[in-house]
Amino acid sequence: MGQLLLQVKNVSKVFGNLNALEDLSIDIEKGSIIGLVGSNGAGKTTLLRLLCGLYRPTKGDIFFLKDGEEKNIDKFREAVGILPESTGLYHRLTAWENIRYYSRLNGVSDSISWERTLRFSKALSFSNDLMRHTRGFSRGMRQKTSILRALAHGPEILLLDEPTAGLDVTSARLVRKLVLQLKKEGGTVIYSTHNLSEAEKVCDRILILHNGQLRFDGSPENLMSETSTLSLEEGYVKLTSDDARIRDETEPEGWFSRAWRQLFTRKTDLIEEMEEE
């Protein structure tokens, strides 16, 4: 057994009447690549947001293991690198300026951030595009920028939400190659994907989430063995034969957010009325 890095202990997350995650317990070891697989609404994005401290569990705890002690993940967000569903880049900035901005927020010097960015950008064949403004970037170029942004501060664990979605074959292959390189260097990656064949190529452990429940946790080989199937796809279908629920992973809107939205919605309506007159 490797060094324990992160622990999810009996975690549940509830949104209104929806149990997005139900009594989930996972141990994450350093140097592993974990494939997080499930349909829309399975709870993958909710879990990733819990792991980076964006959400708080309704029940249970998430701990980051540091120097042999359990530390609340809220206090160790700098240990996490995140590639979200939406890249969220500032289009007026260059790729490097986007990366440098987030590195500074994590207290990392420009020289260290640049050194890491340059090294990983070579693996992604992206070095020549670092000084270009991101406004005209393709989906693949935005994705590469976001991956470099997530890596530049030297995180101990990397969370990737559909890292190859919408990418061409060559770009997707480069991303997978980078993930395998990170593993060789002792990095830890949680790799959320719908693509089981992709998970098989890069992941040494598979987590299957379905309707907020953990249906499987083990190696790709064990998945096929335990389900008596000949492929990951067949094994996945066998474990998730019940209908998937409707996706709903949003926090309820607070009173301040609701008042703010209503205020500016009213202002927009007034402007439109004045323009019509």
DSSP 46-91: HHHHHHTTSS--SEEEEEEEETTEEEEGGG-GGGEEEE-SS----T
Is residue 31 situated within a structural domain?
Answer: yes
Task: Report whether 69 contacts 39 (CB < 8 A).
Answer: no
Is residue 201 situated within a structural domain?
Answer: yes
Q: How confident is the model at residue 248 (pLDDT cuts 50, 70, 90)?
A: low
- 110, HSE (Cβ side, Cα atoms, 13 Å): 5
- We report the CATH number of the domain holding residue 30 as 3.40.50.300
How confident is the model over 80-121, as pLDDT tens digits? 899 988 888 999 999 999 999 999 988 899 999 999 999 999
The residues pairing with 133 across neighbouring beta strands, listed in sequence order, are: 94
Residue 151 has pLDDT above 70, yes or no: yes
Is residue 104 situated within a structural domain?
Answer: no
Task: Report whether 60 contacts 9 (CB < 8 A).
Answer: yes
So what's the pLDDT on residue 194? 84
How confident is the model over 4-51, as pLDDT tens digits? 899 999 999 999 888 999 999 999 999 999 999 998 888 999 999 999
So what's the pLDDT on residue 117? 96
Is residue 218 situated within a structural domain?
Answer: yes
Helical segments of the chain, H only: 44-51, 95-105, 110-123, 139-151, 169-184, 196-202, 220-227, 232-239, 255-276
Q: Quote the pTM value.
A: 0.82
| Average pLDDT over all residues of the chain | 86
Q: Report the C-alpha dihedral over residues 171, 172, 177, 182, rounded to 10 degrees.
A: 100
Computed over its alpha carbons, how large is the radius of gyration of the chain?
Answer: 20
Is residue 210 situated within a structural domain?
Answer: yes
Structural domain count of the chain: 1
Residue 221 has pLDDT above 50, yes or no: yes
Token couple for 217: 């946790």
Is residue 99 situated within a structural domain?
Answer: no
Is residue 139 situated within a structural domain?
Answer: no
**Domain coverage including residue 226:** 4-92+156-171+187-276
